[in-house]
Structure 1
Amino acid sequence: MASGAPRNAEATRKRLLKAAAAEFARYGIAGARVDRLAAEAQSNKAQIYHYYGSKDGLFDAVFEALVAQVLSEAPMDAHDLPEYAGRLFDGYEQYPDIIRLATWYRLERGGDGTHVQAVLDADRAKVTAIAAAQAAGAVTDAYAPEVLLGLVIHTAALWTAQTPEYEHLVGALSSGQRRDIVVSAVAALTGPHGGGGSRGPGGSDR
C-alpha cells in the first residue's frame, strides 16, 4: 500500500494541473474556482492547498509546467528563426490554452513583480544566441537581439492573438497557410537583409 502512495500522489497532481490549466485558461486567476477544478480533477480543496499552498501557487505550477513544455517542444535555433516561429505556431495550434494562460498571467500577475525564473533564463539565452547569430552575419542586425526575439514570438502568435472581427477577415486561411505566412514573414524580417534596413528605436549599434 505504501509503495503505491507516491504514484497515487503523482497521479493526483497531474489531474489537478490538467483541471487547473483548463479552469485558469477559461476564467483567469481571480475567476477560477478551487472547488470546481478540484471536482473536475476528482480531488478536493485540501489536496490543492497541501500540494500548492494556494490558488496562486497552483496557477504558478500550471504556468511553469507550460513554460517547460514550450521550451521542450519548440527549441530555438538562432540561425533558423523562421522554423522556430513555425514550431511556436504549431504549439499554439496544438495547445490553444497556452495563449489564454499567458494572457491571464500578463493581466493578473504582470504588475506584481512576479517572474518565472525559467522564462527569464530561457529568454536571456535566446537573446545571447541571437546576438551571436547577428555577429556572424546570419541574422539581421536592424533590431537589437531582444527586440528581434519579441518580434519573432509575437509573429508566431499572430493568429491566436486577434479579435473576432479580424478572424472574420482571414477565416478562410487554413492552418497550413497560416503557418507558411508566419514562417515566410519571420524569414523576411530576420534574414541578413531583413528589417527593412531601419535601425529605429531598439536597433543595434553594429
Structure 2
Amino acid sequence: MIRDSVRTKKLLLKAAAEEFAAFGIAGARIDRIAASAGVNKSLIYSYFESKDKLFDTVFSEMTRDSLATVSFDVADLPGYAGRLFDSFEESPDTVRLTTWYQLERPHGVPLHAVVASNASKLHELRAAIAVGDLPGHFEPVEILALVRAVVLAWSTTVPELGPAVPMDRARRRAVIVDAVRRLL
C-alpha cells in the first residue's frame, strides 16, 4: 500500500489539534493522537520528531489560519476585535490551544508565526500612533495586549459568572467592539 504523506500529516494535525486542545501539551498522548488519526504512532515521530514539535506545528498552523481569516486593521481596531471574537466563537479550540500555549510555554522558544504576526501588528500600531491616527496614551504592545484581553473576556470568564453572561452572541460581540472603541 502506498502512503499518502500529505493526507496522513493532515489527519495527524487534526487529531493532534483536538488532543492538545483537550489536554494541553503535557496531558496529550501520542497514542491517542495516532489512534484518532488512524495511523501508526511511529509516523508522528517520523514527520514531527517529538510531541513538542507536533504541538508547535499545530499552533503555528492555527496562527497562520487565524491571520488568513481575521484581518488586522489598525484603522478599525474595534472591527478587528469583533472579527477575532467571531473566529474564537466559531473555533473554541483556538482559545484552548492558545491558553495551553501560554500556560505551558511561557518561556519556550518563540514560534516564528507568532513572532511575525506580533511584529507586523506592533509596526502598524506604532505607525498609526506616530501620525496621530491612534492616541498615544498607550504603547503599541499595551494596545495589542488590551485588545486581545477584551476579545478573550467572555471565553476566559470564570464558570461562576456563567448564568450572568449574556447568552446572545451578538450582545457579547457588541460589548467587545464597544469596549475596544472606548479604550482608544
State which of 15, 20, 23 in structure 1 corresponds to 2:16.
20
The TM-score with structure 2 as length reference comes to 0.95
Structure 2 residue identity aligned to 1:177: R
Q: Matched residue pairs, number?
A: 184
SS at match of 2:75: coil
SS at match of 1:138: coil
Q: CA deviation at 1:137?
A: 2.0
Alpha-carbon distance in 2 for matches of 1:77, 1:108: 30
Other-structure match for 1:94: 90
Q: CA deviation at 1:168?
A: 2.2
Q: What residue ranges of structure 2 are gaps of 5+ in the alignment? A: none
Q: Which runs of 4+ in 1 moved over 6 A?
A: none
Q: CA deviation at 1:66?
A: 0.7
Other-structure match for 2:172: 178
Alpha-carbon distance in 1 for matches of 2:23, 2:139: 36
Identity of aligned residues (%): 44
Alpha-carbon distance in 2 for matches of 1:56, 1:124: 24
State which of 133, 145, 149 in structure 1 corresponds to 2:144.
149
Aligned alpha-carbon RMSD (Å)? 1.4
Alpha-carbon distance in 1 for matches of 2:60, 2:40: 22
Other-structure match for 2:126: 131
Question: Does 1:114 find its partner at 2:109?
Answer: yes
Q: CA deviation at 1:167?
A: 2.1
Other-structure match for 1:68: 64
Alpha-carbon distance in 2 for matches of 1:167, 1:73: 29
Alpha-carbon distance in 2 for matches of 1:28, 1:145: 30
Alpha-carbon distance in 1 for matches of 2:161, 2:69: 28
State which of 76, 79, 82 in structure 2 corresponds to 1:80.
76
Deviations, residues 90-128 of structure 1 (Å, cap 9, x unaligned): 1100110111111111111213x3111121121111111
The TM-score with structure 1 as length reference comes to 0.85
State which of 19, 29, 33 in structure 2 corresponds to 1:33.
29
Other-structure match for 2:163: 168
Alpha-carbon distance in 2 for matches of 1:140, 1:180: 22
Q: What residue ranges of structure 1 are gaps of 5+ in the alignment? A: 191-206
Other-structure match for 1:194: none
